[in-house]
Every structure is written in structure tokens, then in C-alpha cells.
Amino acid sequence: MSSAMPEIPWHKARRPEPRQPLSRDAIVAAGIRILDAEGLAGVTMRRVAQELGTGPASLYAHVSNKDELCELMLERITGEIDLPDRPDPARWKDQVKEICLEAQRVYSAHRDITLISLGSIPLGPNQLRVTEFMLDLLLQAGIPPQVAAWALDTLGQLIDTDAYEGSLYTAKAASGTDIDAYFASIEDYLSRLPRDRFPRLVEHAGTMVEGDGDQRFLFKIDTLLRGLETHIEA
């Protein structure tokens, strides 16, 4: 067993580095780092404590449990969504699409964070900022209040599910799956189905897999917006 080396006489004695003070912000930031690297399943109080070099018990002075931590992580991530300077009712459909694409981009960058969003009501200031902007935009465009409220719920679900599905394909690609080859194999499979049982699928096998994620996402949003437009009174 080797002995510890003595300090060199003319070197300043090394002092232990002070531990960074634990705070709610530090805990949330650590949770997001783990989320991005390992997914939501990796975010546990024990794992966050390990990331911060402390024990799990010390976290409970700042967050009550994992559920609260996840809500705070979602709130912090939602703050990354950029909104237009002001609602423009003359361009309300374009602005809705822009905001939805921006939200999808932000959430997709943080693995499966939308699993938290899908099961929660947006109440944090960053989340309410997005809701307030969208609601104001729809109301100024002439959408009735109840229709606008339900539309926001539907848009939120579309964003969450699309971003989560995208994270699954990202994980497939990271594990070595060739996504283009995967969809090519789906097309090939559909084209070889028994034509007497599945004539439409065989005929339109290429159509069924056509379009990238953004194209399909925007189609869903555009279809919803066309329906909303019918609620605007002349």
C-alpha cells in the first residue's frame, strides 16, 4: 500500500474545494441534465443527489418529491420556447404553426419530457406565458372562448405526442437503427401484403410512409386550424 506524498514545501497547501450550495435551481438543472442523457426513467432523487455530490435526503429541503421536481423541470424547459413579439390576428394561423413548431423543437431536445406535460395542467409562469399568448391570439382572431380553450388543450396534446414520438425515433437512431431503411422496410412489407385482403394498402404503400416528421406534424396542426376557422362568425 503506497503512502501519501508530503506537500512540496514551496507549494501552497491545498484546501478542500467548497461544495456548491444546494438550491432548487441546481437540483432542477441536474434533473434536466440527467433527463437529456438518460431519459425520464433515469431521473430519480437518488440519481439527482449523486449528480450533485450529496445525499437524497438533502434534496427534500428544496423539492418535496420527484413529482414536484419533474414539474419544475418542465417549467424550466418551457421557458426556452420563444414567442412572437405580439399576437397578430391577421396571421393567426401562421403564428399558431410557428409556436407549435417552436414548442415541438424545444420539447424534442429534452428526450421524453412530454411524458410529464401530457399528465399535467400548465400552471407555472413559463407555461402560462405560452397559454396566455395563444389564447389571446385565438380570441383576437374571432375564435369563441370555449372553442379556443378546447383548441389549446388539443394543440398541447398534438405537440406532446409528436415530440414524444420523435424522441422514440431519435433513440432508435442512437441505438444504431437506420431510420430511412426502417421506413423503406415498412413500405416493402405493405407492398407485399395479400392484395385480395389489403388492396388499398398495397396500392398506396409508398403514400403511407411519405413525409418527414415536420410535414406530418404541420398537417395535423393545419387540419385543426381549418376546423377552428369554421367557428369564426362572419
pLDDT tens string 214-232: 999 999 999 999 999 999 9
Phi, psi of 123 (to 5 degrees): -125, -15
DSSP conformation letters of 136-180: HHHHHTT--HHHHHHHHHHHHHHHHHHHHHHHHHHHHHHTT--HH
Domains and CATH numbers, the chain: 24-78 (1.10.10.60), 89-229 (1.10.357.10)
Task: Give CA separation, 154 vs 4, 30, 147, 160, 234, in Å.
Answer: 64, 31, 10, 10, 24
pLDDT bracket for residue 62 (50, 70, 90) = very high
DSSP conformation letters of 7-18: PPTTSPPPPPPP
- Residues 152 and 131 sit within 8 Å (Cβ to Cβ): yes
pLDDT at 111: 86
pLDDT at 169: 83
Phi, psi of 30 (to 5 degrees): -65, -40
pLDDT at 124: 92
Q: What distance in Å separates the CA atoms of residue 223 and residue 192, rounded to the nearest whole number?
A: 31
Cα–Cα nearest to 78, from 48, 111, 114: 114
Of 234 and 43, the one with more pLDDT: 43
The predicted model scores a pTM of: 0.83
For residues 202-215, average pLDDT: 94
Task: Give CA separation, 211 vs 51, 66, 167, 203, 224, in Å.
Answer: 40, 38, 17, 17, 18
Answer yes or no: is pLDDT of 83 > 60: yes
pLDDT at 176: 87
pLDDT at 8: 61
pLDDT at 233: 82
H/E run at residue 102: helix 92-108
Give the pLDDT confidence of 2-57 residue by residue, as tens digits. 666 666 666 555 554 445 679 999 999 999 999 999 999 999 999 999 999 999 99
Give the pLDDT confidence of 121-179 residue by residue, as tens digits. 889 999 999 999 999 999 999 999 999 999 999 999 999 999 998 888 888 887 888 98
CB burial of residue 11 (10 Å; 0-12, 13-18, 19+)? exposed
Query: CA-based Rg of the chain, rounded to a whole angstrom?
Result: 24
Amino acid at the residue 215: Q
- Residues 222 and 131 sit within 8 Å (Cβ to Cβ): no
Query: What 3-state class would DSSP assign to 82?
Result: coil
Q: What distance in Å separates the CA atoms of residue 162 and residue 114, rounded to the nearest whole number?
A: 9
